[in-house]
Amino acid sequence: MTSSPYRVLCVCLGNICRSPTAEVILQHYASMAGLMVEVDSAGTSNYHPNKAPDPRTQQHAKDSGYDVSQLRARQVQAQDFADFDLILAMDNSNLADLHTQAQQLRAQNKAVNAQLALMSEHCDKYPKQPVPDPYYGGAEGFKQVIQQCESAAHAWVEHWQLTKTVQNKNYENN
């Protein structure tokens, strides 16, 4: 029997601060729970193609035990809407951009398989709150990103366990 992972794409604006952090944290929480989930990240913009995460993002992630240093930024592409099961936006502006792209793809009869949601969709500590953009601010903003991503990732894992969403994807059509 073959099985396929449940695929999640974390999305912010630049793909050098919030979404790489969300990617490694969500991947860590899902793997720790034994869920077959594959996480990637991308930006709605193409401001930093192929760049490593912002040095501040790398440092704060490292301080919290996460390694984002190997990730490289890329822009969201049409194929992502076909390939991923879930696309998680860091804030409402990212979510609105993703909904617009999904609508345009549907209008062109292109596949949109992904569900779109906020990273904080199920988070009880920051319910449906945006993960604030830390790029133009200080250290506190980067710490806040890690805290919110941890809380949100924990909530997604709980949600997947309750709903069996991941297992259902892993073993569908086999």
At its nearest, how many Å lie between ligand 4NP and the CB of residue 135?
A: 4
CA atoms within 13 A on the CB side of 84: 24
Catalytic residue among 10, 12, 123, 149: 12
Should residue 17 be labelled a site residue for ligand 4NP when binding is judged by CB under 6 A?
A: yes
Catalytic residue among 7, 10, 17, 18: 18
What is the enclosing helix (H) or strand (E) of 7? Answer: strand 6-12
Place of tokens 């998680």: 88
What's the chain's length in residues? 174
12/152 with CB nearer ligand 4NP = 12
Angstrom distances, CA of residue 27 to CA of 32, 133, 173: 8, 21, 24
Identity at 159, one-letter amino acid code: H
Should residue 85 be labelled a site residue for ligand 4NP when binding is judged by CB under 6 A?
A: no
Should residue 165 be labelled a site residue for ligand 4NP when binding is judged by CB under 6 A?
A: no
Should residue 13 be labelled a site residue for ligand 4NP when binding is judged by CB under 6 A?
A: yes
Among 8, 9, 10, 16, binds ligand 4NP (CB under 6 A): 16
Handedness of CA 128, 129, 133, 139 (dihedral sign): negative
Should residue 12 be labelled a site residue for ligand 4NP when binding is judged by CB under 6 A?
A: yes
Asked if 124 is an active-site residue, the reply is no
DSSP 13: S
Binding residue count for ligand 4NP, defined by CB under 6 A: 10
Should residue 18 be labelled a site residue for ligand 4NP when binding is judged by CB under 6 A?
A: yes
Q: Which residues are catalytic?
A: 12, 18, 133
